[in-house]
Amino acid sequence: TLHSGVAGARGLANKWGFKQVITPTSATAADFFGFSLDVAPGLLVVGAPGKDVSLTNLVNKMTDVGTVYVFERNAGVVEGREQKRWTEAQHLTQTSDTAVQTGVRTRMGESVAVDGGGTTIA
């Protein structure tokens, strides 16, 4: 999907090599998934500032509200071998209808950060 974005995981096992393509479950055009990212042990936070959002009392989608996706690293089997994989755990989206109705494109996810313990996302 055009400009939806993608993140890649690489690992070090005697050499850097490609491990996984990371995409959100709800990718659409111009989301710009991967515009920003941060990691903590077992946690990956990825911004998609171009994500359009439909809220409860809006008829049309509000553009560029943005979303922050949270991925967790879990064990799985790939090609018969156990490997750790990034899986989408949740996504964070602005839910305040009033803030979105102002017409301001909030672009949540333009910058993301997670603390070292993975307990706070900003």
pLDDT of residue 69: 95
Rg (CA), the chain: 16
| Polymer length of the chain | 122
In which residue ranges of the chain is pLDDT below 70? 1-17, 55-60, 77-78, 95-104
Nearest to 93 by CA among 42, 54, 37, 39: 54
- pTM: predicted TM-score of the whole model, two decimal places: 0.79
pLDDT of residue 110: 94
Q: Could you give phi then psi for residue 98, rounded to 5 degrees?
A: -60, -45
- pLDDT, tens only, 88-107: 999 998 766 655 555 567 88
pLDDT of residue 32: 92
pLDDT of residue 82: 72
pLDDT of residue 40: 92
pLDDT of residue 97: 60
SS3 112: coil
